[in-house]
Structure 1
Amino acid sequence: MSDIAHHLQQVQAQIATAAGKAGRAPDEIQLLAVSKTKPLSAIQEAYAAGQRRFGESYAQEAVLKVQAAQAAGLEIEWHFIGPLQSNKTRPVAAHFDWVDSVDRLKIAERLNEQRPDSLPPLNVCIQVNISGESQKSGTTDAAVFDLARAISALPRLRLRGLMAIAENTDDEGAIQRSFSQLHDLFVHLHESFPSMDTLSMGMTQDLEIAVASGSTQVRIGTAIFGAREYRQE
């Protein structure tokens, strides 16, 4: 068994344990393997171990990996999870299945315009800045409803949920409060937008808190692939 396969097993066991503590079924929580900055070979190892959902943040690098994976016959569900600049929307619209980080209408409109007719609607999540940190992307709680309503009217997009990144802090109480706030917002929005079925929150360091707070998708990179190289596109 490869190191990546072993790490995947450990993460899956951690999700199952967290779900059990929260009185939830493990299959309620999807694992999104964050493969940004990692080579195709690492993705292939995770794929061989059964992983099918992968998250990328750098458009130019990601598109090359998507194309290479397709050429290798890998059937992957690709999520774009990073901040998306308006000049990078076209390749993302053409190559990804999901964009989990839509934070403003301009980006949604460009994705809708540039999504090829030959592909199914692009699944999107709205990123919410739950920590209030200026360096983090995401819309505000107050603006989410209007953005959700606008996205739901775009024919080549399908509104699927909310995504957030917790504050980088050791204060687990603060993380729990912000996750619970996002969960409450998600439940409220679902009443008006029933296509919303995804609440993406929780990463390697706060997975258990996220699962206890109702997350349906956790984004795990370091615990699967090891430390990543920090870079900007």
Structure 2
Amino acid sequence: MPDATPESPAQRLAKIEAEMAHACKLARRAPDSVTLIAVSKTRSADEIRPLLETGHRAYGENRVQEAATKWPQLRKAYPKVHLHLIGQLQSNKADEAVELFDCIHSLDRLSLLTALTKAMAKAGKRVPCFIQVNIGEEEQKGGCAIAELPELIDAAKAEGVEVIGLMCIPPAEVEPAPYFALLAELAARHGLSQLSMGMSDDFPTAIQLGATHIRVGTALFGPRPAG
């Protein structure tokens, strides 16, 4: 039996948007209350371009250097792109990150806050940030410890850095709902309205628990080439 015809980027996008709409309906939320960030890390400009052609404009990258190799050229052709940094950020890359990205999801420590404050002042540009929370208290993961969150939020306010919400990556291979619920509770406690949480396997659950930004990669771009 021949293989099924591969889905086009437009078909994959429509499928994800339908799942998002269903999750929003269950949660009694407006469909436009959730931003779909297409995770384009490790994808070439040629792989990204077909999705750009559908009109989708929110993209996420993990590494500053990788993003710098492809997005400046792509943005000349697609100027309304909104680019999100969703991976861990080294303080020495703060200048480049502020120049390149429209939103940073991985503010997680005071030293990075200091670097970003200086970079924003130097660039004359204010980049809104999510604070990444180490929601599962995993040693190998980045993110601010829950106990240190109030201090980091207060420090960001003092520096004039706009913290718009919280971000998390729950522990792998466990039910994510309790972690999403905890992040939502922490955000509400600190008066933050936006939540960056949920990926390809769990974004419907994240939406039902308040996600305003979900991060989806392979489900949008298709399987990675073998080899």
TM-score clears 0.5: yes
Separation (CA, whole Å) in 1 of partners of 2:43 and 2:100: 18
**SS of aligned partner of 1:100:** strand
What is residue 215 of structure 1 aligned with on the other side? 211
**SS of aligned partner of 1:120:** coil
Contact kept, 8 Å, 2:91 with 2:116, in 1: the verdict is no
Separation (CA, whole Å) in 2 of partners of 1:24 and 1:183: 15
What is residue 184 of structure 2 aligned with on the other side? 183
Contact kept, 8 Å, 1:56 with 1:79, in 2: the verdict is yes
Residue identity opposite 1:220 in structure 2: V
CA distance 1:35–1:211, change in 2 (3 Å): same
Calculate percent identity across the aligned residue pairs. 35
Answering whether residue 163 of structure 2 is matched by residue 163 of structure 1, we say: no
Residue identity opposite 2:66 in structure 1: E
TM-score (norm 2): 0.90
**What is the Cα deviation at residue 64 of structure 1?**
2.0
Separation (CA, whole Å) in 1 of partners of 2:189 and 2:50: 39
CA distance 1:41–1:122, change in 2 (3 Å): same
Q: Which protein is bigger by CA-based radius of gyration?
A: 2
Q: Which aligned pairs between 1:1-233 and structure 2 lie closer than 5 A? A: 3-115=8-120, 119-155=124-160, 157-169=161-173, 171-172=174-175, 175-190=176-191, 196-228=192-224
Residue identity opposite 1:177 in structure 2: P
**What is the Cα deviation at residue 123 of structure 1?**
0.8
CA distance 1:85–1:22, change in 2 (3 Å): same
| Residues paired across the two proteins, number | 220
Contact kept, 8 Å, 2:98 with 2:123, in 1: the verdict is no
**What is the Cα deviation at residue 2 of structure 1?**
7.0
Q: How big is the alpha-carbon RMSD for the aligned residues of Structure 1 and Structure 2?
A: 1.8
Residue identity opposite 2:37 in structure 1: L
Contact kept, 8 Å, 2:52 with 2:78, in 1: the verdict is no
Contact kept, 8 Å, 1:37 with 1:228, in 2: the verdict is no
Separation (CA, whole Å) in 2 of partners of 1:115 and 1:65: 22
